Amino acid sequence: MAVPDAVDVLLRPTPDDRARPGRAFLGDDALLLAPTRHGRLTRLLAGAANGLLADLPESLGLYDPHAVSRTEATHDPEAVRVRYGDLAGLAPFVRPTGFSLHLRVDGRSEDVRLAFRSDDERAETVALARELRDRARAAGRDLAVFDPGGRTRVLSLDE
């Protein structure tokens, strides 16, 4: 699976933060992680409407929980920018609640945590991890794959 320029994710910049829907944008020299432009109340009401109407509003394009454009992300002060050369390690893994990708970044005390919720979340997780590994290598870094611990199983990037 080829990685598109933007991938829908659930973003947790630190373990203390709540997971928020957003997008990961692949740039030339950095990964840009931006939360959705929708606030909590909007997400709650739209999620309830989606649940009651069998995801009809989302499938018709009336609501996108991950709605944020690259331009909005570039100017958002909450966006997290991770230079490929600053990546120190990555952990693509599966746990009972789904697929995730943790990133270790030089200069940050906590891992950046991404989760995936799509029809093909395993393929998205592995494809994004491979692309990050390749871009980090191009920036002169060889990334270590690490095990985040707990009830997880690290995914192979060589398949």
Asked if 27 and 71 touch (Cβ cutoff 8 Å), the reply is: no
Eight-state DSSP code of residue 93: E
**pLDDT of 72:** 86
Reported pTM: 0.82
Place of tokens 């991404």: 114
Copy the structure tokens of residue 9: 């994710």
For the chain, list residues with pLDDT below 50.
Answer: none
Strands 144-145 and 87-95: parallel
pLDDT tens for 114-152 read 999 877 889 999 999 999 999 999 999 999 899 988 889
CA 118/CA 32 separation, integer angstroms: 20
**pLDDT of 114:** 93
Asked if 11 and 35 touch (Cβ cutoff 8 Å), the reply is: yes
CA 98/CA 94 separation, integer angstroms: 6
Q: How far apart are the first and last CA of the chain?
A: 12
Question: Phi/psi of residue 117, each to 5°?
Answer: -140, 85
**pLDDT of 133:** 94
